[in-house]
Structure 1
Amino acid sequence: MQRLTLSKIYEHPIAKKYVARAGLDHAIATAFSAYDFALREGVDVDLATKAAFLHDIGHYTWYRNGEWDFNLYAENDIHAIKGAERAHKLLIRLGEDRKSAKEIALAILLHTDSYLPQGHLHLDPLQQVVALADQENEEPDGMHHYHHISEERAVLRLQQLDRRVEESKTLQLDKKSS
């Protein structure tokens, strides 16, 4: 079975709409960070980059008097819940392995504890990688969601990361077979 790539995911209208809404530049930067963390921690780079790229696919906007209200958003945030479901459905639709789609969705669900009353999670290694990658690319008041990247640059960056993931997966297979 051919691996579902980040580029292929981004081609889908659902991904284009919701990843862009949450900040395409942030999604790509987080996926690159997740790749690096996953290599260091021995986590599957394919799952890590997909979860990181899609981690904010559940974002929505909160406005008060026509102005973005970060505090109102933060009080009512459930983007990880919405995102996990949206990403899972999208990945299954695109032909992702069901077990992998579930792992990715769980990493998205648990990439933040902002929606939990206690605010403490016990994460498995993949979930830790995605949470760390997101934290590494955050800015105060959610400003990381507003950086612009051109469509052309975004596609090139995703293709670059797809190549890195493919090379890493090939190296892992070579190590297992020798």
Structure 2
Amino acid sequence: MVGAATCGRAAGALEVLRAIKNELKKHKLDCPVIEVGCMGHCYAEPIVTISKPGFPPICYRQVNPVIAQRLVREFILGDDPCLEFVLGALEENELVPSFSDFPRARFEQKVILKNCGHIDPEQIEHYIANGGYSAFVKALQIQPEKVTSEVKRSGLRGRGGAGFPTGEKWEICRQAQGKPKYVIC
């Protein structure tokens, strides 16, 4: 996976992506290379994550095309995880520190952005496979009053200057006269 959000692109992620694909092709390797969003470590871009059997998924920091080629040759083709370029691992392991070991991790609880850096934001299947649209499907299966009640209970507010409670707004609109009614997102 190559972090190809704005921060990654500004740091050279597209060149890194090209270098990885070219090196894989040169060695006749058929490995998926996925562009992903930002993991929240913009200072370390371009970030490349390699998942290989027998190793934890490892994220590499400040990867340039030369380092990318080396990662393919030494880690994907060989078994040298090139620890000198490691940012962290995506899961607990004995080899390298995981992101959950970072001091800032104890202050974070990713909810909405939990999949950033882990899925391709341009592939709807990735989103759905990670629970995307599940709340929408649930909303279609329950009574409208229950939807409004859950939105009110969530504390969701509008992004306008007043931060008006969304559930309250939906309830007012639902009770207003006239049809059809629209939700604009």
Per the normalisation by structure 1, the TM-score is 0.30
Which structure has more RCO (C-alpha within 8 Å, separation ≥ 6)?
A: 1
Structure with higher helix content:
1
Structure with higher strand content:
2
Q: Which has the larger radius of gyration?
A: 2
